[in-house]
Amino acid sequence: MTTDHRAQVDELLADYRRSRDRLATVQRDLATIVETATSPDGSVRATVGAQGTLTDLELDDHAYRMPPRQLAQVVLRTVQEAAGRAAERTFRTLGTVLPAATDPEALVHGRADLRPEEIAPPAPVRSRRDDDEDFEQRDWLNVEAAPAPRRTR
């Protein structure tokens, strides 16, 4: 290999290592994202991770005095608020490594520049067996009996 090519290969390897180091940093940053929100009355406190997954839920004594439907709504709104904050931090973190014109939210939500048919799950492949009635699921008590064949002598 000539010296000129060697320098190019060395530069490519250095770029690759920098990219991997940056990716590792972003992954570590994403793993530390935790957001907490508290309901306006302070009765519900929700904590979520980077992907909006609920990791902790605290209800104070006042929460138990609410009708169940109202409590459910307060919990949902509080979790959604925390998830929104976590999503915003996730988008900001991803934005540091994406090309300038890339929308991190579109990537996170799986859209990017893809059409819906490109991201739809593939249709399941059905076998002939799938079309047959499942023997064990058949309701044998409610099956109309076919008339018995007539015997001839």
pLDDT in tens, 71-110: 999 999 999 999 999 999 988 888 888 777 777 766 666 5
| Paired strand residues for 49 | 34
How high is the pLDDT of residue 116? 66
CATH number of 33-119: 3.30.1310.10
| Paired strand residues for 13 | none
Domain ranges of the chain: 33-119
Using the 8-state DSSP alphabet, how is residue 63 labeled? G
Q: What is the pTM of this model?
A: 0.60
How high is the pLDDT of residue 100? 76
| Paired strand residues for 54 | 48
